[in-house]
Amino acid sequence: MEEARGAAFFDLDKTLMEGASGLYFVRAAYRSGLVSRSRLIRDVYENLRFRVAGATDAQAEQVKERVSGAMVGLPRRRLARLTPDVLAGVLPAIYPQMLEEAWSHQDAGRPVFIVTAASADLASLLAAVLTFDGGIGTPYEVVDDHYTGRLEGPFNYGEGKAVAIRALAAERGLDLAASYAYSDSASDLPMMRVVGHPVAVNPDTPLLRVAREESWQVMRFDKLGRRLKIAGAVGGVSALGAGGGYLAGRLRSYRSAGRPRRDRLGRP
């Protein structure tokens, strides 16, 4: 009888990549006219806050409700056409160290999966681009090629990720005790406790505390969050300056997103 093999499961935002994938989705949606500039500005701010402090369960639920509401009646093709723009933002934000980590698991015979609260479509597509073995995301219902705004399965967040991993393990004969899970957030503790080898990546404070108590491996790559926390320790004004400068730069970039470049004479 063939021995069961382990796998490696990677959270996406702030774990496999710098920041939040949702920011690049809303940027692409803004360029295509699906969301307002004010919504874009709020999401840029939320991304900065997420990188510094992480996300809460309440914030995750709010994002799910907002995304679901915005998708009602949208043709699947229209959202699919955002994909090139979304990937153009997400792919440069992937941590090279995490790619090497994932590929080393594959080389050792362990399949690799993205496990994210983002849409199942994005999870599967990104997994294919990165040559992973699959992606698990939140499934949104489609009827007659239009999104209904309802979920087609569980929200892939918190305990939902643990449920999805157990189901995949049962389907593919994976040994969870021999498996690895990578995440930045204490919200993913259910997923991390399912496997034998949890790894904290750019951990928020609650996850770091658990990782230290239970002697889990800790990996760090997010430099912005650490710089702002250090600035905050030195003085609130310094932190505000660092965060404000970053936010202002991002807003200038996104406000001009999609506009044609002009020469000094104002010509396209």
Looking at the chain, which runs of residues are DSSP E strands? 8-10, 112-119, 134-138, 140-143, 146-151, 180-183, 197-201, 217-219
* Strands 112-119 vs 217-219: parallel, antiparallel or unpaired: unpaired
169 to 152, 175, 248: CA distances (angstroms): 20, 7, 45
The letter for the amino acid at 191 is M
Measured CA angle at 39 (ends 37, 40), to 5 deg:
65
The tokens for 27 are 């940027």
Is 13 among the catalytic positions?
yes
Give the closest residue to 67 by CA, choosing from 147, 144, 13: 147
Instruction: Out of 11, 85, 188, 222, pick the active-site residue.
Output: 11
Specify the residue for token string 């660092």. 242
57 is a catalytic site residue: no
Instruction: Please give the full DSSP string across 13-50, using - where no structure is assigned.
Output: BTTTBSS-HHHHHHHHHHHTTSS-HHHHHHHHHHHHHH
Tell the residue number behind the tokens 């310094």, with chain if given: 238
Nearest C-alpha neighbor of 162 from the set 143, 184, 187, 139: 187
The amino acid occupying position 91 is L
As a whole number of angstroms, the distance between CA 155 and CA 161 comes to: 8
Alpha-carbon gap, residue 263 to 268, rounded angstroms: 7
Active site residue ranges: 11, 13
